[in-house]
Amino acid sequence: MNEDIENDSITDSKPNSSVKLLLVGVLATVLSLSIIVFTKDPGQGGPLIVLTFLLLTFLFALLGSITVLRLIERRLSKKFSWLRVLYTGVALAAGIVFLIGLKTLRQLQVIDVTLVLVFEFLLNFYLLRRF
């Protein structure tokens, strides 16, 4: 099954094009986030604005972490499967959004940050061993 996943992974003929595409996605997400932050009031917009903000924050964290992982991959001259990078990026982005959600509820404490870091470490350890 691992061979099927590795064979089905997306291989880029031009590695620069994928990084440029990811950077364009990051810039578009930052633009959308800035429009929401500067034009909407969370109390005025309600839950839809808050959920949109958290979704855009997740996309920003996901695209940013994938971009960083691809740049690290290029520096180390190692080839990771696209699935491994995607799973690691989703794990990192979910942890960031979880911490932001706790911060917006004014419930973020040091123990929460510690638990999220331990969770991220264990999850990424599992993902790197599995994929």
Q: Which two tokens stand for residue 79?
A: 């080839």
Structural domains in the chain (count) = 1
Asked if residue 21 belongs to a domain, the reply is yes
Range of the domain at 42: 14-130
Asked if residue 58 belongs to a domain, the reply is yes
Rounded CA-CA distance 56/35 in Å is 11
CB 65 within 8 Å of CB 115: no
Span 3-11, mean pLDDT? 48
Asked if residue 25 belongs to a domain, the reply is yes
pLDDT tens, position by position, 33-85: 888 888 877 667 778 888 888 899 999 999 988 888 888 888 888 887 888 88
Rounded CA-CA distance 71/77 in Å is 10
Rounded CA-CA distance 56/53 in Å is 5
pLDDT band at 106 (very low <50, low <70, confident <90, very high): confident
pLDDT band at 15 (very low <50, low <70, confident <90, very high): low
Alpha helices by DSSP H, listed for the chain, are 2-8, 15-39, 42-45, 47-76, 82-104, 110-130
Span 89-101, mean pLDDT? 91
Rounded CA-CA distance 4/130 in Å is 14
Asked if residue 3 belongs to a domain, the reply is no
Predicted confidence at residue 13, as pLDDT, reads 47
pTM: 0.75
Residues 6+ away with beta carbon under 8 Å from 80? 69, 73
Asked if residue 4 belongs to a domain, the reply is no
